[in-house]
Amino acid sequence: MILQALYDYAQRKGDALPEDGFEDVEIKYLIKIREDGSLIDLISTIEDKKGHVYSKVPMRVARSGKTPKASLLLDNVGYILLDDLKRETFINLIENLPVELKSTREIQAVIAFYRTNKANGFDKISFCELWEECRKTTGYLSFIIDGEDEIVPQLAAVREYQRNITAAKTEGGEDNESDEIINSVCLITGEKSVISRIHSATSIIGAKSNAKLVGFQKNSGYDSYGKEQSYNAPVSIKAEAAYTKALNYLIKSKENRFRLGEDTIVFWAEKKEAEAFESSFSAFFATDFDDPDRNVREVKNLFSTINTGKLESIDSNFYVLCLSPNAARISVRFWETGKVETFAKRIKQHFDDFEIIRPSFDEKEYLTLYQILSAMALEHKIENVAPNLTGFVTQSILKGLPYPTTLQQQCIRRIRAEQNVTRERAAILKAYINRLNRQKNIKEVSVALDRTNTNKGYLLGRLFAAFEKVQQDTHPNLNATITDRFYGAASTNPVTVFTQLMRLNRHHLSSYENNGLKVIREKEIGEIMNAIDSFPAHLDLNEQSYFAIGYYHEKQSFFEKSEKNEGVN
Amino acid sequence: MREFFDKMFCLEVWGDYACFTRPEMKVERVSYDVITPSAARAIFEAIFWKPAFYWKIKKIEVLNPIKWMNLRRNEVGAVANDKSSGIYIEDNRQQRAGLFLKDVKYRIYADLVFIPPKQRKETINPLPEYLIDTEEKIDLTERELTDEHQNENPAKYNAMFERRAKKGQCFFQPYFGCREFSCFFKLVDPEKEHSTPIPETRDLGFMLYDMDYSNPDDIRPAFFRAKMENGVINVPDWESEEVRK
């Protein structure tokens, strides 16, 4: 299913994907040489820790096992400079090029660097300024001739050659490794054709650079029926090229992927009509650092398109694939398919669930995943959140399932640790409870204060907020309010502290100078107390969530009132 | 030889987890969406099998909605070998993640296809040459089929299977793709007990049909295009065009 969808995507995109046999590679160092092969210098293209990405260079070869296999005209330090055996392989590859290509001055210069003009070329490399740094790098190196702008692999003649050999390979020509040509049914296309032995790398961040989606190490228990490596999963060379190209394109693109903790999530649409949705998809989940307002815009856009019913007419499937790195392998975390409309509705549901009343200074209309998750982390650092929680939350959103229980637990833990219910935390708890309640057909928690809600936890939270307000009114400059002292106990074992809080409250009420305000507060407290018949001994996690939401709602309602008053005044 | 027809049986199978591993993602396991015909065949074979017949899967009905879960397990990265001195698990530890199915329930329909004695595969004699008595060997190969064989009644296999399935007997616990995901089974009569497959219609892409064992030196997979219509997958014949070998 997954490979099939990628293959179809490659067919749909056609030329927009990089040409077969070419790719864009990040090259960190360039060996600058003259036409006669003598060395000028070793230059670095690194800016901001990343090398320059050179487009449309011959594709690097897929390496596996111990036999050295060099890529054409660009490779890592071992192949170009350090390791003798590997270097010989590299030079031999160049020396075995067809005469027309070999006789060009650029290729001659490279050969001279290694052979004829070795004294001035290769031997002088260790005297270069950047030599020490370059030796240790894991990046790629290539050559550039003095006076040229393009590096040697970008030469037109080199590209032509690469095109020719790629075409020959896909028609079942001899593989460099001269292993047998196996004909079998391809599991993507269903046709009988030549099967590829190794699949190309489709690396994601966090995995090694040769990480593959489909790969079988020899002698590690992955081989079956006497088949080795990728003969275990027959995919024709043509289909393999197509799906790896598509997957690499998606992984490297900015628009079709976003990162979530360790995982990379790629997504694409089956048909062209859904491309508008495709381009706005990442905005729902990740923050775009170039354009921070994009989130809000896209969400608003989404809401309006759902309301107008435009999405129903798009009869295209939409695919979301979450990949997780595991050393040199890539595992599939989850895979979702569905119609565009289904995904749009589920995303809208997510934002609706997280809707909660907010103070006027908080301008964020919609919360991004990053904001939600960091609200639950120690010191608001996302590294402190459990790595699979991000995956689970995204899955809940995309599948329309209840949020993970860990979300609620983490949130309540944070609230108790910091004695502070922020907007994000209240929103998380509200969303969690509502999704649960929806399944059981229980009334949902509202966005703002709901005076008719009779849930015990909710009422107690409201009462607690009211008590805190009274204390703040009468004692404005306290270091520690009742929230700091009693929140934990009040939300878990109300019966132990509420009597004490009521006593304190009476005491605070008597300190009011403004009688009008005192009456308002008393009325509020009286209204809440009417609905409570007794203080329970324990509140379970769900009721603690209600407590937090009630507390937050009541607090916000005080701000509103005071703002209204100030407005009037 | 008596006249016979191939009887169709229906088993309802269910379990907590399932992994019908896709061949391409065998290392970090990803399951197919539904049970493969080869896994269904294995469930029938677990209950009852003899070289005299084979199971032909005809239809698969999906009764529970398709749910996924992700799990990372500690596994061993080497294959045991009777010539070696064993594997030290701690030296060969590997972590592999998998995307499995959860809460699965199917109804699988299969024909018990009798193989006439002449068409059965030759059994390979595991005895070394020097232990085989040549006279006895000639005697056995030249002998005509005995009366016993002539009167073999294929219906007896049908009866044996029914008895075993009703009692819940099996040679080994049936499983969903991987041995650790055992499943439970029940023989049902589809006429009497109706089932409601899930109302989903989907194209599931190319699925593994089974392995082609006709050449023991080169065992190959066979694929077919699986289409689920209202929760029912009709499995084509092995010989048909639809099964790509």
On chain B, the residues whose CB falls within 8 A of the CB of A191 are 244
What is the rounded average pLDDT of the residues A222-239? Answer: 77
pLDDT in the model for residue A270: 84
> Is A78 in a helix, a strand, or coil?
helix
A135, pLDDT greater than 50: yes
A197 closest CA partner among A242, A165, A227: A227
A346 closest CA partner among A414, A396, A295: A396
C-alpha span between B215 and A90 (Å, rounded): 42
Mind listing the pLDDT tens digit for each residue in A470-501? 998 888 888 888 888 899 989 889 998 999 99
Nearest residue, CB atoms, B97 vs list A2, A225, A326: A326
On chain B, the residues whose CB falls within 8 A of the CB of A2 are 25, 30
A177, pLDDT greater than 70: no
Amino acid letter, A122: F
pLDDT in the model for residue B40: 95
Picking from A178-182, A369-373, A547-551, which range would have the lowest pLDDT averaged per residue?
A178-182
Q: Which A-chain residues 221-250 have CB contacts (< 8 A) with chain B? A: 221-226, 232-235
Q: What is the mean pLDDT of chain B?
A: 86
Q: Which B-chain residues 45-104 have CB contacts (< 8 A) with chain A? A: 68, 70, 76-79, 94-99
Q: Given an 8 Å threshold on Cβ–Cβ distance, is A1 in contact with B33? A: yes
Binned at pLDDT 50, 70 and 90, residue A201 comes out as confident
Sequence-ordered alpha helix ranges (H) in A68-155 = 77, 84-95, 99-102, 105-114, 131-135
Report the percentage of chain B scoring pLDDT > 70.
92
> Is A421 in a helix, a strand, or coil?
coil
A74 touches A60 (CB < 8 A): yes
Q: Given an 8 Å threshold on Cβ–Cβ distance, is A191 in contact with B244? A: yes
Burial (CB count <10 Å: 0-12, 13-18, 19+), residue A16: exposed
B57, pLDDT greater than 90: yes
* pTM score: 0.73
pLDDT in the model for residue A395: 86
Mind listing the pLDDT tens digit for each residue in A431-440? 999 999 888 8
Mind listing the pLDDT tens digit for each residue in A309-336? 777 677 788 889 988 887 778 888 888 8
Picking from A256-260, A474-478, B8-12, B197-201, which range would have the lowest pLDDT averaged per residue?
A256-260
A266 touches A256 (CB < 8 A): yes
Q: Given an 8 Å threshold on Cβ–Cβ distance, is B68 in contact with A221? A: no
Question: Within an 8 Å CB–CB cutoff, is residue B208 touching chain A?
Answer: yes
Q: Given an 8 Å threshold on Cβ–Cβ distance, is A4 in contact with B205? A: yes
Mind listing the pLDDT tens digit for each residue in B120-166? 777 666 777 788 788 877 776 666 556 556 667 788 899 999 999 99
A239, pLDDT greater than 50: yes
What is the rounded average pLDDT of the residues B77-106? Answer: 86
On chain A, the residues whose CB falls within 8 A of the CB of B27 are 215-217, 222, 329
pLDDT in the model for residue B147: 57
Residues 6+ apart with CB under 8 A from A141: A27, A28, A29, A30, A31, A74, A75, A76, A77, A80, A81, A134
Give the gap in angstroms from C-alpha A59 to the nearest C-alpha of chain B: 23
Kindly give the interhelix angle for A456-474 and A494-509, rounded to the nearest 10 degrees: 30
pLDDT in the model for residue A174: 37
pLDDT in the model for residue A34: 84
Give the gap in angstroms from C-alpha B27 to the nearest C-alpha of chain A: 6
Q: Given an 8 Å threshold on Cβ–Cβ distance, is B211 in contact with A188? A: no
Sequence-ordered alpha helix ranges (H) in A420-455 = 423-440
pLDDT in the model for residue A360: 81
Q: Given an 8 Å threshold on Cβ–Cβ distance, is A2 in contact with B23? A: no
C-alpha span between A297 and A288 (Å, rounded): 12
Residues 6+ apart with CB under 8 A from A41: A32, A128, A129
Picking from A384-393, A511-520, B167-176, which range would have the lowest pLDDT averaged per residue?
A384-393
What is the rounded average pLDDT of the residues A30-47? Answer: 82
What is the rounded average pLDDT of the residues A251-269? Answer: 81
Which of A187, A189, A395 should one mutate to test binding to chain B, selecting the residue with the greatest count of B CBs within 10 A? A187
Question: Within an 8 Å CB–CB cutoff, is residue B149 touching chain A?
Answer: no
A425 touches A410 (CB < 8 A): no
A241, pLDDT greater than 90: no
B244 closest CA partner among B213, B220, B228: B220
Distances (CA, A) of A379 to A372, A373, A384, A414, A418: 13, 12, 8, 10, 10
B18 closest CA partner among B134, B111, B108: B108
C-alpha span between A108 and A115 (Å, rounded): 10
Nearest residue, CB atoms, B27 vs list A216, A235, A333: A216
What is the rounded average pLDDT of the residues B168-189? Answer: 93
pLDDT in the model for residue A568: 44
Which of A185, A199, A323 should one mutate to test binding to chain B, selecting the residue with the greatest count of B CBs within 10 A? A185
Nearest residue, CB atoms, B24 vs list A184, A214, A223: A214
Q: What are phi and psi of A552, to 5 degrees?
A: -65, -45
The 3 state secondary structure assigned to A462-522 is HHHHHHHHHHHHHCCCCCCCHHHHHHHHHHHCHHHHHHHHHHHHHHHHCCCCCHHHHHHHH
Question: Within an 8 Å CB–CB cutoff, is residue A404 touching chain B?
Answer: no
B195, pLDDT greater than 70: yes
DSSP assignment, residue B211? E
A31, pLDDT greater than 60: yes
pLDDT in the model for residue B125: 66
On chain B, the residues whose CB falls within 8 A of the CB of A215 are 27
pLDDT in the model for residue A178: 44
Q: Given an 8 Å threshold on Cβ–Cβ distance, is B26 in contact with A222? A: yes
Picking from A235-239, A425-429, A563-567, B56-60, which range would have the lowest pLDDT averaged per residue?
A563-567
C-alpha span between A226 and A223 (Å, rounded): 7
On chain B, the residues whose CB falls within 8 A of the CB of A331 are 28, 96-99
What is the rounded average pLDDT of the residues A383-398? Answer: 82
Number of C-beta neighbours around residue A440 at 10 A: 6
Question: Within an 8 Å CB–CB cutoff, is residue A180 touching chain B?
Answer: no
Q: Looking up tokens 């300190």, which residue turns up?
A: A511
Q: Given an 8 Å threshold on Cβ–Cβ distance, is B70 in contact with A334? A: yes
A76, pLDDT greater than 70: yes
B104 closest CA partner among B165, B20, B173, B28: B20
On chain B, the residues whose CB falls within 8 A of the CB of A202 are none
Question: Within an 8 Å CB–CB cutoff, is residue A326 touching chain B?
Answer: yes
